[in-house]
Chain A
Amino acid sequence: MLMKAVYEIRWHGRGGQGVVTVAQLLAEAAVREGKYAIAIPYFGAERRGAPVVASNRISDKPIRSRSSVKEPDVVVVLDPNLPFMVDVTEGLREGGLLVINAPSPNNLPFKGLKAAVVDATGIALSLGLKLAGLALVNMPMLGALIRATNIVSLESITAVVKNRWSRRVGELNVKGIIEAYNKVQVVNL
Chain B
Amino acid sequence: MSFKVPLTPISRPAKASVGKTGLWRFLKPVIELKKCKKCGLCWMYCPDIAVTFDEMGFPHINYDFCKGCGICANECPTGAIKMVREGL
Contacts and interface: CB of A to CB of B under 8 A. Distances in A.
A178 B9 CA distance: 48
A49 B24 contact: yes
A2 interface: no
B85 to A, nearest CB: 7
Contacts of A49: 18, 21, 24, 67
B23 A85 contact: yes
Interface string A71-85: 000000001110011
Interface string B2-31: 000000000000000010010110100000
A34 interface: no
Given A49-B67, A50-B18, A84 B85 contact: no
B23 A84 contact: yes
A102 B26 CA distance: 11
- B interface residue count range (under 10 / 10 to 19 / 20 to 34 / 35 or more): 10 to 19
Interface string B46-64: 0000000000000000000
Name the prevailing secondary structure of the A interface residues: loop
Q: How many interface residues does chain A have, given as a range?
A: 20 to 34
Contacts of A56: none
A187 interface: no
Contact of B24 (A14, A45, A122): A14
Given A49-B67, A85-B23, A135-B26, 4 more contacts: A48-B24, A81-B23, A102-B88, A121-B26
15 contacts: A48-B24, A49-B24, A50-B18, A79-B26, A81-B88, A84-B23, A107-B88, A121-B26, A125-B85, A133-B67, A133-B68, A133-B70, A133-B71, A134-B26, A135-B26
Q: Which 9 A-B pairs have the closest CB atoms?
A: A49-B24, A133-B69, A80-B88, A81-B23, A121-B26, A133-B70, A102-B88, A103-B87, A135-B26
